Structure 1
Amino acid sequence: MINGAVSLPLDLAQLSFTASGEALVRRTVLPSGVRILSESVPGSRSSTIGYWVAVGSRDELPETYGSTHFLEHLLFKGTPTRTALDIAVAFDSVGGEHNAMTAKEYTCYYAKVQDRDLDMAIDVLADMFTSSVIDSQEFETERGVILEELAMADDDPSDVASERFFEAVLGDHPLGRPIGGSPATIGAVSREAVWKHYRANYRAQDLVITVAGAVDHDQLVSRVVTALERADWDLSAEAAPVPRRTSAHELIERGSPLVVVKRPIEQANILLGVAGLAAADERRATLSVMNAIFGGGMSSRLFQEIREKRGLAYSVYSFAPSYSDAGLYGIYAGCSPAKAPQVAELMVTEFERLAEDGVTSDEMGRAIGQLSGASALALEDSDTRMSRLGRSELTLGEFVDLDESLRRLSLVTAGAVQQLAAELAARPMSVAAVGTLDDEALSGVRALQFTAST
């Protein structure tokens, strides 16, 4: 059994350990730089597999904004040996699930199948990853599909508010850009630019494969090698895995104090927040506890004050996404436009109260219990375990199992929560809102020094 986090050095060819729940975790780094990680879970009858690259929207050049997400779509459109229909049929015919996700710092192609179908999933995903033809006609067809996807997101006021919020808090930092690009950038990007992006970032030294559930590691490695060699990858050519991103926290210059997008809709979608913590920050456990107390559930302060006591909103919560060198802390509420100033003021008031007055022992107990239980229940799903392996390898460089996560939570103190809340509350705040709002509707909210609205 492991005791504490397990480091994942890039120059270590083999690693094996037993994590909480008697799950066997193994890791192989091939001479070519391909990294293969598995977590064998006793009693599991399904497997979830992911093919990862540490390339996301933050890595794009100005002339290729949106190309990472564009490429994600295109890898499902066919290879020299499989059509798009062949790929879909391979998974549908066994009741499997397959999809992909583009994030700000990585892209993952994944599938969940019965244990007996894992070999098929390895082969099909390997073929997609290594051998997409990115046909010119399919490229133009998919351009239309992505433009429709962006239009659908633009019709969702909560999506619009979220995108504007990231831009307001993170400013010109690459993490502030929309993952999918914009209609203008998608309309302008060329096949050649996307092809260049593909060839530059989908190499052996970029590839991380993670599998969780019913899996034999030695068989997995053998099958992966066979599938990649079938695509004419030279796995004997030595290459070091691509280095991980720096974990040094980057100072963020706020983009805008206030962004208001006018839409003739029934609710105002309000997001308020500040720059947060990076993924490797040692205070992440403290932030998790703070977030649970402040806006992480139905017993949280935000929910109780804004919804239960005052009836001002149906949905209200806080959230804390983190990345390799930055993060943000946000608060969301959806309410009638007439109540927007009052709700925003309450969001700020509760944030300041958390920073000034701290938290109670009862709140600490509930939060740690909530987080502990949610973490344990999430690991009942092989999808979560597969994703944990990928993020551990790509971002953190260490594996943290359930026991270690619970230990870190148990060490969080009320004083540490208040100290972190005070630090975050002192940072420059930004607000993004979408709805039937006047330009000055939110400009009077305390603690925000607004200079402009759009």
Structure 2
Amino acid sequence: MNSAVALPLDRADLTISAAGGSLVRRTVLPSGIRVLSERMPGAASASVGFWVAVGSRDEQPATYGSTHFLEHLLFKGTDSRSALDIAVAFDEVGGEHNALTAKEHTCYYAKVRDRDLLMAVSVLADMFANSRIDPEDFETERGVILEELAMADDDPADVAAERFFETVFGDHDLGRPIGGTVSSIRGVTRDEVWHHYRKNYRAQDLVITVAGAVDHDELVAAVEVALTAAGWNLDEEAVPVERRVGSQATIVSGNRLSVTPRTTEQANVFLGVPGFAASADERWPLAVLTNVLGGGMSSRLFQEIRERRGLAYSVHSFASSYSDAGVFGMYAGCTPARLGDVAQLMQAEFMRMADDGITRDELRRAKGQLAGAAALALEDSDARMSRLGRAELTMGEFIDLDESLRRLEQVTVERVLDVARTLAAAPLAIAAVGPVEAASVAPLIDASAAA
């Protein structure tokens, strides 16, 4: 494959010969269900995911956290399987199964030996299409989710991350916490979550991706059998739901500084700015920039803050992208008394990159590290299954390893400099958690506003 392959919603069948001898196939059923598979040569297992393009950003104010709540509830049983039956089905074959809720999607997934793939499809289909959401189970799981929120609230790094996204995105729906809040989880009703389920878990919303030892035709047939058994009428024709608009949204940050006092041994701090949408051309030079600044042990942040000065154990940079927006950030955990110095050094390294760019040696090293990491990640069927999901739900195109590496190789120091300057011109946001004062980092906000 030499270029990206579009995934139009109105094309019923598509076959792609991808890098490394893998075969990608895609079928859009008349009911609107999309099934994608990637057959990996030599694989003896398979990873399967049932996806919907519904995440925390799609919730109503009164039901924040309902998407994550629903994710929990689909494991609690169907008309034909109890919660124990679901657990036993995977445990007795040594398989793995779980789910994740993100800001723009939810995925129920499993990994099993090749011989057990059709079982996994059957169980996940039943969970997805035939969940009871029993009122008693609902109340039990409410308590579980409140415990999960309490556990996250005990982790200062998690709290800082949540405050950081809220600070960067302001009132934008990407700033919401994925799990909701204690008050929203306590207040949401079973009927509200049931409505959320019935509205968004339909055939035209469903994307199924499988990677590993898989026969596509057998997979499609198994999907149809399993969902029909779960009660869906697949004879009803429907068009797959449209993908989210991919144009860059305007992000208006709210309060750009968030400090949460906590009695902890370390202070956790995030600095960052709004970034780029997932489909933006800038994502390739952004990957290089992120790697050079704080992507590994040879990165600028690691060398300056940890190796030369010994001010922190953990320090790195990161970038997250969504359909219409993104975020670029830096993180460090350090002694509270050093927070101001560490934050200042992080910002200084970031601005130095915007002023002077990166060197050709840094570009070469970053390309090597990113290319190697991408190739190694795709040794895992989980990664390939997730790549198919993102391609179908968000990107609308499939890009294999060869094409990714080709685009990465086209990145120049000039393109990285342009991206760095664009990011540096955006409003800086800071979120810190620990026994610290806002005054220790506020000057960085003031300096950014003045610039």
Q: Check whether TM > 0.5.
A: yes
| Aligned equivalent of 1:315 | 314
- Write the letter of the residue equivalent to 1:281: A
Aligned residues: 450
Q: Equivalents in 2 of 1:405, 1:397: separation in Å?
A: 15
Shift of 1:3: 1.6
CA distance in 2, matches of 1:415, 1:285: 13
2:115 alignment counterpart = 116
**Secondary structure at 2:232's aligned position in 1?**
coil
Deviation at 1:233, TM superposition (A): 1.2
Segment of structure 1 superposing worse, 223-232 or 368-377: 223-232
Tell me what 1:425 maps to: 424
The secondary structure found in structure 1 opposite 2:276 is: coil
- 2:293 is aligned to 294
* Structure 1 CA distance for aligned equivalents of residues 448 and 370 of structure 2: 35
Q: Distance in 1 between matches of 2:375 and 2:140?
A: 43
State the match for 1:384 in structure 2: 383
Unaligned runs of 5+ in 2: none
Q: Corresponding residue for 2:182?
A: 183
Matching of residues 343-382 of structure 1 within 5 Å: 343-382=342-381
Correspondences of 1:63-102 after superposition (within 5 Å): 63-102=62-101
Report the Cα offset of residue 53 of structure 1. 0.2
Deviations 1:127-178 (A, max 9, x none): 0000000000000000000000000000000000000000000000000000
One-letter amino acid of the structure 2 residue matched with residue 115 of structure 1: D
Deviations 1:351-378 (A, max 9, x none): 1100001111110000000000000000
Which residue in the other structure is 1:247 paired with?
Answer: 246
**Alpha-carbon separation, structure 1, partners of 2:52 and 2:445:** 43
Preserved contact between residue 18 and residue 24 of structure 1 (Cα < 8 Å): yes
Aligned equivalents of 1:122, 1:440: Cα separation in 2:
54
Is 1:257 the counterpart of 2:256? The answer is yes
Matched, 1:270 2:262: no
Matched residue, 2:26: 27
Q: Deviations over 1:107-133 (max 9, x none)?
A: 000000000000100000000000000
Q: C-alpha distance in 2, partners of 1:86/1:176?
A: 37
8 A contact 1:348–1:446 mirrored in 2:
no
Q: Does 1:152 align with 2:151?
A: yes
* CA displacement, residues 71-118 of structure 1 (integer Å, 9 cap, x when unaligned): 000000000110000000000000000000000000000000000000
User: Which residue pairs with 2:39 in the alignment?
Assistant: 40
Residue in structure 1 matched with residue 392 of structure 2 by the alignment = 393
Match of 1:314, SS?
Answer: strand
Q: What residue in structure 1 maps to residue 415 of structure 2?
A: 416
* 2:50 counterpart residue number: 51
SS across alignment from 1:330: strand
- Please give the alpha-carbon distance, in whole angstroms, between the structure 2 residues aligned to 1:72 and 1:450: 41
Q: Distance in 1 between matches of 2:406 and 2:167?
A: 35
Cα distance in structure 2, aligned partners of 1:446 and 1:138: 47
Superposed CA offset, 1:237-289 (max 9, x none): 11100000000100100122210000000100000000000000011111001
**TM-score normalized by structure 1?**
0.98
Q: Is the 8 A contact 1:341 1:445 kept in 2?
A: no
Q: Which amino acid aligns with 2:140?
A: T
Deviation at 1:232, TM superposition (A): 2.3
Percent of residue pairs identical: 65
Q: How far, CA to CA, are the matches of 2:393 and 2:23 in structure 1? A: 20
Q: 1:3 to 1:263 in 2, by over 3 A?
A: same
What residue is the counterpart of 2:436 in the other structure?
437
Matches within 5 A, 1:133-148: 133-148=132-147
* Conserved? CA contact 2:273–2:427, under 8 Å: yes
- Cα gap change, 1:329 to 1:114, in 2 (>3 Å): same
Return the offset for 1:420. Answer: 0.6
Larger deviation: 226-235 or 114-123? Answer: 226-235
User: CA–CA distance in 1 between the matches of 2:409 and 2:40?
Assistant: 25
* Residue in 1 that maps onto 2:402: 403
2:256 and 2:28 map into 1 onto residues whose CA distance is 46
Q: Secondary structure at the match of 2:258?
A: strand
**CA-CA distance at 1:63 after TM superposition:** 1.1
Query: CA–CA distance in 1 between the matches of 2:399 and 2:449?
Result: 41
Instruction: Indicate the SS of the match to 2:437.
Output: coil
3-state SS in 2 of match to 1:238: coil
Aligned equivalents of 1:256 and 1:427: distance in 2? 14
Q: What SS class does the counterpart of residue 108 from structure 1 fall into? A: strand
d(CA) in 2 for partners of 1:415 and 1:169? 27
- Secondary structure of 1:222's partner? helix
- Contact persistence 1:268–1:336 (CA under 8 A): yes
User: Offset of 1:445 from its aligned partner?
Assistant: 2.5
Query: Is the contact between residue 66 and residue 182 of structure 1 (CA under 8 Å) also seen in structure 2?
Result: yes
Contact 1:64 1:185 in 2 (8 A): yes
Give the gaps of 5 or more residues in structure 1.
none
Residues 256 and 445 of structure 2 are in contact (CA less than 8 Å); yes or no, is this contact kept in structure 1?
A: no
Asked whether the 8 Å contact 2:428–2:445 carries over to 1, the reply is: no
Q: What is the DSSP-based 3-state SS (H/G/I as helix, E as strand, rest coil) of the residue aligned with 1:440? A: helix
Deviations 1:202-247 (A, max 9, x none): 0000000000000000000000000011122111211100000000
